[in-house]
Amino acid sequence: MDQLHIRGGAPLKGSVRVSGAKNAALPCITAGLLTEGDLRLANVPRLKDIETISRLLRHMGAAVEEVGAGGLAVSGRAVSRFEAPYELVRTMRASVLVLGPLVARFGRARVSLPGGCAIGPRPINLHLGGLKQMGAEIDLSGGYVEAKARRLRGTRIVFDMKTVTGTENLLMAAALAEGTTVLENAACEPEVQDLAALLAAMGARIRGAGTDTVTVEGVPTLGPATHRIIADRIEAGTFAVAAAITRGDVTLTDCAPEHMEAVLGKLREAGVDLTPGPGRLRVRMRDRPRAVNVQTAPYPGFATDMQAQLMALMSGADGRSVITETVFENRFMHVNELLRMGADVKIAGRTASVQGVPQLRGAPVMATDLRASASLVLAALGAEGTTVIHRIYHLDRGYETIERKLSALGADVRRVRA
């Protein structure tokens, strides 16, 4: 298993291109199941999770091919299997995004239940409840959910809580349903908006995407489309923290600062000097960061996917910061590893109290999930000495060539095959 060896201390300098958003690309790829037409997606990041979803679609009979740098051609013409097997769903929960499209277009789907993962139990009851309301018959047996419907019917669905992939699944289901579906308390994330933009290009009739009430007038069929995936706001946020934690000066290009308001607000409060421009963001930091308090929340709140990275920055801040995780139950897996690097963090339930220390120190640490891994990389970049991060396959699920991008900014990072 590969390791990352990082010697900290070098201020990052230069510019780095932000990749396309993993969490927008995943639902956009599964949208290929909704149509006989071809989808041409641009700005798709080359990541393990994208390989996994592509493998899943191919398993169903779809064609998924890389076309040039960042291009992906998806064709759902020959789909003939309607199952997402345990082996694939187990490695990536987002596989559940095939459920809505399959039931909507073929009237049937058999998808393994995702079960628990490192950041909490993460059920899919809201996805299933919505499909049921649209007339699907849902059976759970042998660890699989089977959904059947002659044709889904539009209805009004009120989500109990905001769910990103739940909203995406039902958006895709509603696009081909008979009649009008209204999704209330829908997730507003830019990734949901990006999927809605692709669906609209395919001929779907959607109003209100990006607000918490989304109205979808079903159409009988959807057609081909080309679409460019939005920039990855979490990768961009991670590089912004990398610049700050190393007291560097980094310009992010091909990014979307307008999707990052809450994170940028907190970085500013911490004393980071930010200069946003169209499609770019310059990040500079000279002094030790000030401690800031953060509570994660659905968009436009502070993204849970940036919580671990902000904690790495706060571990070295001047003062005590209180970080509250409200979206997931168990998303503090990075804390024990940060402690190994000399951080001073105490957890009480969903709240972490982080007393900044003047200097983190390198240590052997273990990555546990994608964003926890990112926080360890950041802590290592700001630390004194060398950090060895084990199990970096988590990182490869969501960060495209991270060690190359960091090295180009002057970081001392090596991938070592152990």
Phi-psi region of 271 (alpha: psi -120 to 50; beta: other; left: phi over 0): left
**163: contact with ligand EPZ by CB under 6 A:** yes
Binding to ligand EPZ, residues 170-209 (CB under 6 A)? 191
**166: contact with ligand EPZ by CB under 6 A:** yes
Among 25, 28, 94, 230, binds ligand EPZ (CB under 6 A): 94
Beta bridge partners of 351: 324, 348
Of 28, 117, 188, 255, catalytic: 117
Among 146, 194, 232, 305, binds ligand EPZ (CB under 6 A): 305
255 is known as an active-site residue: no
| Nearest C-alpha neighbor of 111 from the set 95, 91, 131, 134 | 95
**145: contact with ligand EPZ by CB under 6 A:** no
- CA–CA gap between residue 339 and residue 376 (Å, rounded): 11
Structure tokens that stand for 229 in this block: 């995936």
**Residue 40 in contact with residue 67, Cβ under 8 Å?**
yes
Helix axes 370-382, 333-340, angle to 10 degrees: 20
Among 3, 23, 43, 373, binds ligand EPZ (CB under 6 A): 23
Among 14, 15, 125, 319, binds ligand EPZ (CB under 6 A): 125
What is the 8-class DSSP label of residue 57? H
Region of 162-170, 175-183, 202-210, 224-232 interacting with ligand EPZ (CB under 6 A): 162-170
Region of 146-154, 158-166, 341-349, 383-391 interacting with ligand EPZ (CB under 6 A): 158-166
- CA–CA gap between residue 370 and residue 391 (Å, rounded): 10
**416: contact with ligand EPZ by CB under 6 A:** no
Nearer to ligand EPZ, 124 or 291 (CB): 124
Buried b vs exposed e over 127-156: b needs ≥16 C-beta within 10 Å? Answer: bbbbbebbbbeeeeeeebbbbbbeebbbbe
**169: contact with ligand EPZ by CB under 6 A:** no
Nearer to ligand EPZ, 45 or 70 (CB): 45
**227: contact with ligand EPZ by CB under 6 A:** no
Nearer to ligand EPZ, 44 or 327 (CB): 327
Tell me the closest approach of the beta carbon of residue 153 to ligand EPZ, in angstroms. 21
Binding to ligand EPZ, residues 323-342 (CB under 6 A)? 327-328
Nearer to ligand EPZ, 192 or 285 (CB): 192
Nearer to ligand EPZ, 90 or 93 (CB): 93
**307: contact with ligand EPZ by CB under 6 A:** no
Nearer to ligand EPZ, 164 or 225 (CB): 164
Helix ranges restricted to H, 176-316: 190-201, 233-245, 261-269, 307-314
Sign of CA pseudo-dihedral 147, 153, 159, 160: negative
Structure tokens that stand for 46 in this block: 């080359």
**Residue 45 in contact with residue 20, Cβ under 8 Å?**
yes
- CA–CA gap between residue 273 and residue 132 (Å, rounded): 49
**111: contact with ligand EPZ by CB under 6 A:** no
Region of 34-42, 157-165, 311-319, 385-393 interacting with ligand EPZ (CB under 6 A): 157-165
**398: contact with ligand EPZ by CB under 6 A:** yes
- CA–CA gap between residue 271 and residue 254 (Å, rounded): 24
End-to-end CA distance of the chain: 6
**Residue 325 in contact with residue 344, Cβ under 8 Å?**
no
Beta bridge partners of 397: none
Among 84, 102, 126, 343, binds ligand EPZ (CB under 6 A): 126
- CA–CA gap between residue 270 and residue 11 (Å, rounded): 18
- Listed in order, strand segments (DSSP E) in 257-401 are 273-277, 280-284, 294-295, 320-324, 344-348, 351-355, 364-366, 386-390
Q: Which residue has the tokens 């209100």?
A: 208
Among 123, 210, 223, 279, binds ligand EPZ (CB under 6 A): 123
**289: contact with ligand EPZ by CB under 6 A:** no
**158: contact with ligand EPZ by CB under 6 A:** no
**Residue 406 in contact with residue 364, Cβ under 8 Å?**
no
**26: contact with ligand EPZ by CB under 6 A:** yes
Region of 59-67, 72-80, 115-123, 286-294 interacting with ligand EPZ (CB under 6 A): 115-123
Chain residues binding ligand EPZ by CB under 6 A are: 23, 26, 93-94, 120, 122-127, 161, 163-166, 191, 304-305, 327-328, 370-371, 398
**Which amino acids are annotated catalytic?**
117
